[in-house]
Amino acid sequence: MRLDPRLPIPRNESLLLGAIGFFAFLGLWSGIAASGFVPRSFLPAPWEVADRFTHLLTNTFAGFTLPQHLASSFGRYAMGFGLAAVIGIPLGLMMGWFRWLDDMVTPVFDALRFIAPIAWVPFAALWFGTGIGGPIMIIFSGAFPPCVINAYRGARYVERHLIEAAEMLGTRSFRMITEVLLPASIPSIVAGLRVAAGLGWQSLVGAELIVASSGVGYMMVQGQSAVSTTTVVAGMVAIGIIGVLIDVALRAFERGVRRARGLD
């Protein structure tokens, strides 16, 4: 019997506890739906959502099947998230090395990063309409700050003796960033990518509710307009599944990076 609640739980027990929690949630949901306390038009039963989810896999709604909506969403997400990483990581590393750049960028960055991604939706709608640029901009605004912050922190906390050794060898700034700061900051950068991935995916769905003509968020809006609650909930389930898969992939990548660097 485990006496210390802080001790790690064996994998089999962890999976069992997760299954218990999942089925308890389904049972509670099913009980509320079957009780008639909440009308089915507002809270469909799990089996009704599952049936609708299966139907949407092969039948179109709002112009596309569910996999096609998800593909459209993921394409926008990949571009917005990729852009945030490509710009944010180098910027964070350079801010961690060049004090003048840190002082110049930080005031503007700190002001902008507290603006919720959804607050950019009106501008995105005005600038891009329902084109691909609007969602990419909103995803970028959600994913960009964690990329910058974690790269910056990684660069700032590189062990001093590594920097001093490189300086003794006459290493210039560009090589210092690419050959010293970047390798040493990888664990922090990967952790930031996990946070950025989650925020970017959430931002995408918010963007598609308003500034898109396809995608799972757009499908949910059309489901709301058609008073099809099962379609809305099926879209939410699809969003959750893809979000979990993204996080699982990044966790595996993070574990691989940490093992490669001897941190685990």
In whole angstroms, what is the distance from residue 125 CA to residue 85 CA?
A: 24
Q: Report the distance separating Cα 152 and Cα 146, nearest Å.
A: 10
Contact predicate 96/151, CB 8 Å: yes
Give the alpha-carbon dihedral of 78, 81, 86, 91, to 10 degrees: 180
Most confident of 52-61, 93-102, 116-125, 152-161: 52-61
Rg (CA), the chain: 23
The answer, yes or no, to whether residue 67 has pLDDT greater than 90, is yes
CATH of 66-260, picked from 3.90.550.10, 3.30.565.10, 3.40.640.10, 1.10.3720.10, is: 1.10.3720.10
Predicted pLDDT of residue 3: 46
pLDDT digit string, tens, across residues 18-40: 889 888 998 998 898 888 788 87
How buried is 144 (Cβ within 10 angstroms: 0-12 exposed, 13-18 middle, 19+ buried)?
A: buried
SS3 label, residue 64: strand
In terms of average pLDDT, the best of 5-19, 44-58, 241-255 is: 44-58
Cβ atoms of 169 and 94 closer than 8 Å: no
Percent of the chain with pLDDT over 70: 91
Q: What is the DSSP string of 179-209?
A: IIIHHHHHHHHHHHHHHHHHHHHHHHHHHHT
Mean pLDDT confidence for 167-181: 73
One-letter amino acid for residue 262 of the chain: G
* Phi, psi at 212, each rounded to 5°: -150, 160
Per-residue burial over 228-253, b = 16 or more CB atoms within 10 Å of its CB, e = otherwise? bbbbbbbbebbbeebeeebeeebeee
Q: What span, in angstroms and rounded, lies between the C-alpha atoms of 164 and 182?
A: 16
Cβ atoms of residues 191 and 254 within 8 Å = yes
Inform me whether the pLDDT recorded for 262 exceeds 90. Answer: no
What pLDDT was estimated at residue 8? Answer: 66
In the prediction, which pLDDT does 1 show?
A: 43
In this model, does residue 125 exceed pLDDT 60?
Answer: yes
Task: Give the pTM.
Answer: 0.82
Question: Does 130 score more than 70 pLDDT?
Answer: no
Domain extent listing, the chain: 66-260
Question: What is the per-residue DSSP string for 210-238?
Answer: TS-SSSHHHHHHHHHHTT-HHHHHHHHHH
Structure tokens at 153: 């922190």
Contacts of 97 by beta carbon, 8 Å cutoff, 6+ apart: 155, 173, 176, 177, 181
pLDDT-derived band at 193 (thresholds 50, 70, 90) equals: very high
pLDDT reading at 231 higher than 90: yes
pLDDT at 263: 58
Query: Are the CB atoms for 145 and 57 separated by under 8 Å?
Result: no
